[in-house]
Structures are given as structure tokens and as C-alpha cells.
Chains A and B, each alone.
Chain A
């Protein structure tokens, strides 16, 4: 056990970002933390709590009060599983510390157990906040006793254990096939594909909820007729025991809940002993195929490119060829229409292209304004979500010094990195806007306005993200996923981006619906604000940002 605790302690320390030392940085980090907590985390968590509270209150009359909390806990468990899969794969098999751990006299279950605990503790914060507020929402409507509160909080804290154990078992089983597949990169790509398949399946299953009538839906869940809730109960039977424990005040239910958690952990540890090292030994890095064939041709192709083109191309190659960066920074940017599809299905929006065209051209420009606000909002949120700007320096890791010793100005390097983010983000947004625009025959001038606003919105969030990352990049990491997941800059960038999106989109909506301004006026105002913002962030990047890079000495 001592080895296990030592490992957990070491892994936890390796994950932490260094605290700022300078007073001005401490203030900035505290301010960003405040924005992230009060404008992102608390509103989302409070939303969950209010949702559960309202449903519990309205269903308590018919004795079905636990439906709301059951649904929320099911969703949280499912999302935990989706997001943990990639983390567990990386922690178990792809982090750089593995090669130092394997020769040590440690049992496989000690390594996987410690890595699992570390992942659990680091991934659990936001989930626990959501679970806690949901429990509070339920408890306030249901009037729970002290003991019920305690069981609910302990049970809620343990909720992600089983979804994460599922991920651990999937990774152990999948890695057992490394004797057949062998290539580290293939396995890594497979883990990313599996994660995406689960995510897309989840989103599409939500999309199947056509013409959502909430009362009918809750009734169907309560009667056990809803397929989604039925699947939840099947995959996560422990949620039923937990609800039995805190809603029903059943000690036996709580013991069953703890028992099923212990059972799954035991299964995971036994499988670790059987499969972990086996999976490891079959794993190789990319194979080097020695061949002099085509060597002369290779040399013939060595032609000089401009510094800008060469640097841009290098950045793109690194993003596309590193599976973690590809899935988290590139591919994620292109899947937002799937979520839009869910909204369209759930709201049962079913217009023909001609109807949409007519709505766009007529209808007091309502549709055009909504589209304008949507394009700006999605550009801001997706650029923040793909984190290409907010981890631009963190991605360099131990190679950060390269930026400093090559004869290329910091300004140029900064702008090329920004260009990579802006190009990918803009492409991932505008390609769909363009298809939609062509399909419903949106006027060319509007399409141009959307394009300019997409570029500007992506640019603002990119430069702001890079500015944040230049303050305190996470340069010491063991695997690429750590550069993204353990990087507070991404989170801070998202928080401020939500604020900016709120101001721009909310402001645009208010100007249209309250002040009666038309599309052109709103577009001009948003354009003016975004131009001012990008000029501000560009100047800050070229002055303070570059100073930050020069002064960074975590090498």
C-alpha cells in the first residue's frame, strides 16, 4: 500500500501547474479563476441543481420524485465515461513515466491503481460540483435527513468511480491486442476513435428525442418506457442503489452501492494484474523501415520555402500527426454540427430549403440576425474549445527553448502560431456556414460578412488564448494530453470567451429585439467591437505577450 500512496503522491505533484510567483501574475490568475468559477462553473452547476429541484418538486406529488436526479446522475456518469476514456488510455499506456515505472519492483495493479486514483482526483472536480448541486437541488425539494445528506454526498463523490473503471477495463482489453497491432500510434489513434464513436453515439441518441414534450418524456421515464433511461439503468445500475440510499434512506442500498463500487474496482485490479504488462510488452513505437530506395529523389525534393511557410507547415504537421492534439484541437473543431443536429431534432425544426430561404430574405431579418449571432458565438466558443491558442506554447513542452534560439523573431513566431489556430478554427466554422449559405441561397454580401466575423472572432480568442498561455504555459508534462487537460489557461480562456460571446451575442440580440436594429446595423456594431478587440489583443500580444515569452525560464 505504501508504494501505491507514494505513486499517487508523485503523480499528483507531476500534474500540478506551478503557482505564479510575481504579484501581478497572482492577481491576474486570481481574477481569471474568479471569472471561471463565477461565470462558468457556478452557473452550470446551479443550472443542474435548479433543474433537479424543479423536477423533484413537480413529481413528488405522484411519488416519482427521484426521476430528475436519476437522469442527471446518469448523464454525468455517461459524460465522465466519454471524457475519461482518453485520459485513462494516456495515463496507463502513453505517459513518459511508464518506461521508468516498469523496471521498478511494482505490481501492475499498483501502477494502474495509482494512475487511476490520480485521474479520478484530477477529473472529478467539475463532476462533483455538478453532482453536489444536483443533490442540493433534490435535497431542498425532498427534505432529506442529516444521514441522507451524508450518504448522498459520499455517494456523489464516488459516482465517477464505476464509469472510470469501465474506461480502465476497456483500455486494458483493447491494449491486450497490442500483440497483434503492436504500433503505439495505431493504438493511440484507436483510443481516440473509440472516444469519438461513444461521443457521437451519445449525441445522436439525444437527437432521437424528437419533438420533445417534457411532461411526456418524464412520464415515459417514470414508467420505464424511455430507451435512454433504460440503457442508463442497465449500464449504471449503481445509480439506482445510490438513490435508494439517499432518497429512500436505505442503509442496505448504500451498502449495495459501496459493494458494487468495490466489486468493480476489484475486477479492474485483477484484470490489471492479468493484462497490463502483457499489453505493454507488445507495444512498440513507430517502426523504422530502413530503405535507401528513393533517397536521391528525397534529396531532390529538398527545396527552400519561406520561413513563414516552413514554420506554418511544421505546426500543422505536429497538430495533425499527434493523435492527442488531432482529436482535442483539430477534430473537435469540426464536430459541432452534430450538436446542432441534436438541437434541430429535439426542437423538431423541419423547414424546407425554400422555406428557410424565404425566412432569411423576409421575416424582418430575424433569421439573418440569429444567424449572425450564431456565427459569432460558435466561432468564439469553438476557438476556445479547441484550445489551439491557449495551449500554443504549452504544446512545445520541453522544446520551448527552440522558440528562443532560432533566428526568427518572436513576433513572427507568435503570428504564425496564431495563423494556424485561426485557419483551423475558421475553416471548421465557415465550411458549414458556406454549405448552409449556398443551400438556402444567402446573399453573397452576407456570406462575406459572416466570413469576416468568423475570422475576427477566431482571431480574438486565439490571440487572447496565446496571451494567457504566454503568462504561465504548462511546459513540464509527461504526455501530450497533460499539456491540454492539466492546463488552466485553456479553462481560463474558455471562461473569458463565454463572457465575450455573451456580451457580443446578447448585445446583438438586445439591439435587434429591444431597440429594433436591423441586420446591417447589428453586423456593423459587432464588426466594430470585434475589430477593436482584435487590435487590443494583437497589441497586447506583441508587447506584453512577447515580454512574457522572453522572460519564461522554466526550461
Chain B
């Protein structure tokens, strides 16, 4: 479960990047985080993962408050950042092992999990290579494996489908669904509205750091005349411009 209450963040006294944002990702739910570029999605995600410190508000990851129990909270988060170019001088297998060591993945399940994820994303043949030679998509797959190898309860994924081939994207979406169905929570940001429409139980739409909508897709459609998500989103952004 992720519980965000009245989260606010501003940089260098400028306009608020995130303003009084509240929402909840319940166990068993996939929530899509939607908004135009610069809306505050990544800033919110970075606060949720402990990278940025909020000016005010609270973040709870399961029972752990990020302000008080950051260490425990971080242990149960699986986070994919928006940049996959991390530690590219390491071999794929070294990187996954390093992350597994950091998150204390025990010996008896480690190889099995690496094998499973490598199979899901077609990485078996390249694990023994330096990640410097990987394509953008391959690096993104490595980031996914690294984020999930410790079997975290809460998945926080910043545009996880970027750069993935269709098969890998399909597999990741299935994994997200399965993880939520097992009683865990998944939050992911995306610009691909069709994916959000098909996959998410709820969506949060933000712009200029402020929440425009939070709820189920049915509620959204009910409110905006049964259009598809793309049309509704564009309408909402147009209305924002008029304000």
C-alpha cells in the first residue's frame, strides 16, 4: 500500500513542483500516474522513493512512514528510474548480483529469480557482457530485473515500458497484473494512455503539480462523457490551459 497525504515540493523558491497531492494505492491495485511533461510525476516518485525530501506532507509505504522509517520503507520498494544508464561498466550479471546483495536476496532463491527474469526479458545470452554494449532497451530490461529481483511488495515504476520490445512490454504488463493480484501495490507513470486504460485499476492525473483526477477509469469516464482516456486527458489539459 502507498499512501500519499498533502505532499508538497518546490525547488529554489520557484513555483511548486508538487502541490498538496494526496492519493492512495491500495494492496491489489495498479495505479497509473498520468500527466504531461513537467507535471510533477517524477518529482512525486522521487519523493516516494526517498530521493527527494518533501517540503510538507507524508508518504507511507505499507506500514512505514518515509520520514521516520525510510530504511525499512526502501527495503520493500522496487523502483525503476527514468534513466537506464546506470553502472554501465558492470556486466549484466554483476549488476544484478550487486543489487541482490544490497537488498539481501538469499542464495537459495537468487539464481532462480535471475533465471526467471532473464527468461522473461530475453537476457540469458547477454548477462555475461558489459552493460556498456547494451542497447537502450536492454539496459531498461536490466533496470527492471534489478528493481524486482528482491521481490518487493511495492512497485514504483517511472515510465517502465520506454524502450521495451513488444514481447518484453507484454511480459512486464502481465507481471504487474500478477503482482497486484497477489495483494501487492503497483504505481507506474506513463505517457501511453492505452496501456493505462487497459492495465490500471485507478489513475491519477496531475498537471502543474496539482491533482486533476484520482479514481477508477469508470468514474473518470462517467465524469467526462464515456470518451476514451486519450480524449478525456486531452480535454482536461485543454481546460487547464483555459484556466
- Indicate whether A and B interact: yes
Enumerate chain A interface residues (CB-CB to B < 8 A). 21, 185, 285-292, 294-295, 298-300, 302-307, 309-311, 313-314, 317-318, 321-322, 398-399, 401-402, 404-409, 550-551, 553, 555
Which residues, 204 to 239 on B, are CB-close (under 8 Å) to A?
none
Nearest A residue to B130 via CB reads: A286
Q: Please give, as numbers and ranges, the residues of chain B lying within 8 Å of A314 by CB-CB distance.
A: 87, 90, 94, 98
Q: Please give, as numbers and ranges, the residues of chain B lying within 8 Å of A292 by CB-CB distance.
A: 124-125
Question: Could you say which of B51, B79, B87, B104 contacts A555, with CB atoms under 8 Å apart?
Answer: B51
Q: Please give, as numbers and ranges, the residues of chain A lying within 8 Å of B21 by CB-CB distance.
A: none
* Additional 13 contacts, C-beta under 8 A, given A304-B105, A304-B110, A322-B89: A185-B132, A286-B133, A288-B133, A291-B125, A298-B127, A304-B101, A398-B85, A399-B85, A399-B86, A404-B49, A404-B50, A405-B49, A555-B46
**28 A-B pairs with C-beta separation under 8 A:** A286-B129, A290-B125, A291-B125, A291-B128, A292-B125, A298-B128, A299-B111, A302-B93, A302-B111, A303-B107, A304-B104, A304-B110, A314-B94, A317-B89, A318-B87, A318-B90, A322-B89, A398-B83, A405-B51, A406-B102, A407-B71, A407-B102, A407-B103, A409-B71, A551-B53, A553-B52, A553-B53, A555-B46
Q: Please give, as numbers and ranges, the residues of chain B lying within 8 Å of A300 by CB-CB distance.
A: 111
Nearest B residue to A306 via CB reads: B101
Q: A95 to chain B: closest CB distance in Å?
A: 14
Number of A-B contacts (CB under 8 A): 117
Q: B131 to chain A: closest CB distance in Å?
A: 9
User: Most chain-B CB neighbours within 10 Å: which of A294, A401, A408?
Assistant: A401
Q: B76 to chain A: closest CB distance in Å?
A: 9
Does B62 sit at the interface, judged by CB under 8 A? Answer: no
Q: Please give, as numbers and ranges, the residues of chain A lying within 8 Å of B72 by CB-CB distance.
A: 407
Nearest B residue to A405 via CB reads: B49
Give the distance in Å from the alpha carbon of A305 to the alpha carbon of B98 in the complex: 9
Give the distance in Å from the alpha carbon of A182 to the alpha carbon of B29 in the complex: 49
Which residues, 64 to 98 on B, are CB-close (under 8 Å) to A?
71-72, 74-75, 77, 79, 81, 83, 85-87, 89-90, 93-94, 96-98
Q: Please give, as numbers and ranges, the residues of chain A lying within 8 Å of B127 by CB-CB distance.
A: 295, 298
Q: Is the CB of B133 within 8 A of A285?
A: yes
Size range of the chain B interface in the assembly: 35 or more
User: Most chain-A CB neighbours within 10 Å: which of B51, B90, B94, B107?
Assistant: B51
Q: Is the CB of B86 within 8 A of A553?
A: no
Give the distance in Å from the alpha carbon of A298 to the alpha carbon of B86 in the complex: 21
Would A302 and B133 be within 8 Å (CB), given that A405-B50, A405-B51 are in contact? no
Q: Please give, as numbers and ranges, the residues of chain A lying within 8 Å of B79 by CB-CB distance.
A: 405
Q: Please give, as numbers and ranges, the residues of chain A lying within 8 Å of B133 by CB-CB distance.
A: 285-288
Q: Is the CB of A299 within 8 A of B12?
A: no
Enumerate chain B interface residues (CB-CB to A < 8 A). 11-12, 46, 49-53, 71-72, 74-75, 77, 79, 81, 83, 85-87, 89-90, 93-94, 96-98, 100-107, 110-111, 114-115, 124-130, 132-134, 138
Q: B92 to chain A: closest CB distance in Å?
A: 10
Would A304 and B87 be within 8 Å (CB), given that A185-B132, A290-B125, A555-B51 are in contact? no
Nearest A residue to B71 via CB reads: A407
Q: Is the CB of B110 within 8 A of A302?
A: yes
Question: Could you say which of A286, A294, A317, A404 contacts B132, with CB atoms under 8 Å apart?
Answer: A286
Q: Please give, as numbers and ranges, the residues of chain B lying within 8 Å of A305 by CB-CB distance.
A: 97, 101
Q: B45 to chain A: closest CB distance in Å?
A: 10
Q: Please give, as numbers and ranges, the residues of chain B lying within 8 Å of A407 by CB-CB distance.
A: 71-72, 74-75, 102-103
A-B complex: 5 closest residue pairs judged by Cβ atoms: A310-B101, A286-B133, A290-B125, A407-B74, A288-B133
User: Most chain-A CB neighbours within 10 Å: which of B96, B102, B104, B115?
Assistant: B102
Q: B187 to chain A: closest CB distance in Å?
A: 15
Q: Please give, as numbers and ranges, the residues of chain A lying within 8 Å of B90 by CB-CB distance.
A: 314, 317-318, 321
Q: Please give, as numbers and ranges, the residues of chain A lying within 8 Å of B75 by CB-CB distance.
A: 407
Q: Please give, as numbers and ranges, the residues of chain A lying within 8 Å of B74 by CB-CB distance.
A: 405-407
Q: Is the CB of B53 within 8 A of A302?
A: no
Q: Please give, as numbers and ranges, the residues of chain A lying within 8 Å of B115 by CB-CB distance.
A: 299
Give the distance in Å from the alpha carbon of A408 to the alpha carbon of B101 in the complex: 11
Q: B133 to chain A: closest CB distance in Å?
A: 4
Nearest B residue to A397 via CB reads: B85
Q: Is the CB of A321 within 8 A of B89?
A: yes
Give the distance in Å from the alpha carbon of A133 to the alpha carbon of B46 in the complex: 50
Nearest A residue to B111 via CB reads: A299
Q: Is the CB of A288 within 8 A of B126?
A: yes
Q: B139 to chain A: closest CB distance in Å?
A: 11
Would A310 and B98 be within 8 Å (CB), given that A294-B128, A317-B90, A555-B46 are in contact? yes
Give the distance in Å from the alpha carbon of A405 to the alpha carbon of B83 in the complex: 14
Q: Please give, as numbers and ranges, the residues of chain B lying within 8 Å of A313 by CB-CB distance.
A: 98
Q: Is the CB of B97 within 8 A of A302?
A: yes
Q: Please give, as numbers and ranges, the residues of chain A lying within 8 Å of B77 by CB-CB distance.
A: 405
Give the distance in Å from the alpha carbon of A77 to the alpha carbon of B134 in the complex: 41
Q: Please give, as numbers and ranges, the residues of chain B lying within 8 Å of A288 by CB-CB distance.
A: 126, 129, 133-134, 138
Q: Please give, as numbers and ranges, the residues of chain B lying within 8 Å of A185 by CB-CB distance.
A: 132
Nearest A residue to B75 via CB reads: A407
Nearest B residue to A404 via CB reads: B51
Q: Please give, as numbers and ranges, the residues of chain A lying within 8 Å of B50 by CB-CB distance.
A: 404-405
Q: B50 to chain A: closest CB distance in Å?
A: 5
Q: B151 to chain A: closest CB distance in Å?
A: 14
Give the distance in Å from the alpha carbon of A401 to the alpha carbon of B87 in the complex: 12
